């Protein structure tokens, strides 16, 4: 089911599964040191879920470090231990922040219950814990959690798609524009160097004309892969246009950026591009313009323009070369 189709991203309707969601088959950790209560809760919940029981917050945290739980049921009346603090830790920790947290408390612990709800505990149960109420509340929370999880996953997926080029998987031009602005500002504020590579495949039209657009696409994917592989993790590689790639190289002065460009150029030239499941091997070369930020540059445009002019000179001088 398609909820919305925005730009490149098609978002599956996360509600579609939610109505069928039974709220069963969750991983539940009960933190309770009264053996009788713990045994009753475990028996009630084991019909629907996989249930573990521990007696102290320390044991609970040790378990969290080892496995992922969907639901925590924490007693606020632990002898010599602070159940509320454990709830707070569970809500804060990366590993458990999206899990459900339920409190079990006495009527006399109203103030603690209120504080728990205030720090993001989802629900509570009063002692004596009633079997069917426990089962129902856990199911409801598991359903809510699964809905929230699927929503989060589809939002993340569409955010990622919005900044990626579908052919190569590189960042797209929209992402590049924003990234250039923030990188420029950072370099200005820190005084760090900043370089830019502008890459353009040589005579790419001949590949399209001679072997077809599909072969051209495959060459672009392999080109993107080689550029990505031979730059660093902090460098930003973007598909700028048809067969043009921009690499933002932060913290790197001109000479070092030139060396990066030369390495990439050699990796493109060095081995033929094998496409069409091994049936076609093509010699591909790339021209690269390199420029670095200068004190007088008022905007990223000035830098971009120098890289573009350097690329033009690389083409004019015979292609398959780096010009800075």
Please list the active-site residues: 243
Q: Is 284 in the site for ligand GH3 (CB under 6 A)?
A: no
Q: Which of 222, 271, 228, 221 is nearest to 246 (CA)?
A: 228
**Chain contacts with Mg ion (rule: CB under 5 A):** 200-201, 204, 244
Choices 60-68, 105-113, 209-217, 266-274; region in contact with ligand GH3 by CB under 6 A: 209-217
Nearer to Mg ion, 74 or 201 (CB): 201
Site for ligand GH3 in 224-243 (CB under 6 A): 242-243
3-state secondary structure of 50: strand
With b for 16 or more beta-carbon neighbours within 10 A and e for fewer, the 45-64 pattern comes to beebbebbbbbbbeebbeeb
What 8-state DSSP symbol labels residue 55?
A: S
Residue 50 in contact with residue 27, Cβ under 8 Å? yes
List the one residue from 33, 70, 165, 200 that touches ligand GH3 (CB under 6 A): 200
Nearer to ligand GH3, 112 or 245 (CB): 245
Question: C-alpha angle 182/187/192, rounded to 5°?
Answer: 155
Nearer to ligand GH3, 88 or 228 (CB): 228
Q: Is 165 in the site for ligand GH3 (CB under 6 A)?
A: no
Residue 227 in contact with residue 246, Cβ under 8 Å? no
Q: Which of 129, 122, 116, 117 is nearest to 101 (CA)?
A: 122
Choices 133-141, 190-198, 202-210, 255-263; region in contact with ligand GH3 by CB under 6 A: 202-210
Q: Is 173 in the site for ligand GH3 (CB under 6 A)?
A: no
Q: Which two tokens stand for residue 215?
A: 């072969």
List the one residue from 23, 57, 83, 216 that touches ligand GH3 (CB under 6 A): 216
Nearer to ligand GH3, 121 or 201 (CB): 201
Q: What are the helix (H) ranges across the chain?
A: 15-18, 35-45, 57-66, 83-92, 110-118, 131-162, 173-190, 204-211, 213-229, 254-270, 300-316
Q: Which of 284, 324, 264 is nearest to 202 (CA)?
A: 284
> 220 is in the binding site of which of ligand GH3, Mg ion, none (Cβ under 5 to 8 A by kind)?
ligand GH3
Q: Is 205 in the site for ligand GH3 (CB under 6 A)?
A: yes
Site string for ligand GH3, 305-324 (x = CB under 6 A): ----------x---x-----
Nearer to ligand GH3, 87 or 201 (CB): 201
> 232 is in the binding site of which of ligand GH3, Mg ion, none (Cβ under 5 to 8 A by kind)?
none
Backbone angles phi, psi at 103, to 5 degrees: -105, 150
Q: Which residues bind ligand GH3 (CB under 6 A)?
A: 167, 200-205, 208, 213, 216-217, 220, 242-243, 315, 319
């Amino acid at each position: 089911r398609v909820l919305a189709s925005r730009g490149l991203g098609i978002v599956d309707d996360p509600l579609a599964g939610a109505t069928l969601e039974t709220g069963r088959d969750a991983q539940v950790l009960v933190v309770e040191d009264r053996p009788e209560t713990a045994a009753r809760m475990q028996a009630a919940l084991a019909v629907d879920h996989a249930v573990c029981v521990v007696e102290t917050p320390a044991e609970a945290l040790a378990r969290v470090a080892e496995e992922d739980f969907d639901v925590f049921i924490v007693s606020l009346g632990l002898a010599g231990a602070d159940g509320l603090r454990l709830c707070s830790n569970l809500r804060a920790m990366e590993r458990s922040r999206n899990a459900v947290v339920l409190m079990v408390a006495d009527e006399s612990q109203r103030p603690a219950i209120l504080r728990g709800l205030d720090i993001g505990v989802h629900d509570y149960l009063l002692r004596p814990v009633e079997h069917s109420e426990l089962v129902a509340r856990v199911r409801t929370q598991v359903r809510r959690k699964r809905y929230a999880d699927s929503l989060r996953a589809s939002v993340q997926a569409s955010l990622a798609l919005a900044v990626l080029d579908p052919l190569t998987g590189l960042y797209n031009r929209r992402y590049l524009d924003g990234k250039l602005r923030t990188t420029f500002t950072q370099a200005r504020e820190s005084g760090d160097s900043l370089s830019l590579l502008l890459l353009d495949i040589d005579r790419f039209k001949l590949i399209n004309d001679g072997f077809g657009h599909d072969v051209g696409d495959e060459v672009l994917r392999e080109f993107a892969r080689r550029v990505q592989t031979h730059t660093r993790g902090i460098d930003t590689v973007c598909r700028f246009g048809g067969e043009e790639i921009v690499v933002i190289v932060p913290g790197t002065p001109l000479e070092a950026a030139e060396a990066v460009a030369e390495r990439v150029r050699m990796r493109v030239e060095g081995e033929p591009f094998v496409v069409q499941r091994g049936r076609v091997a093509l010699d591909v070369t790339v021209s690269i313009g390199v420029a670095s930020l200068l004190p007088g540059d008022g905007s990223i445009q000035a830098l971009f323009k120098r890289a573009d002019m350097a690329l033009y000179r690389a083409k004019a001088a015979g292609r398959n070369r780096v010009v800075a």
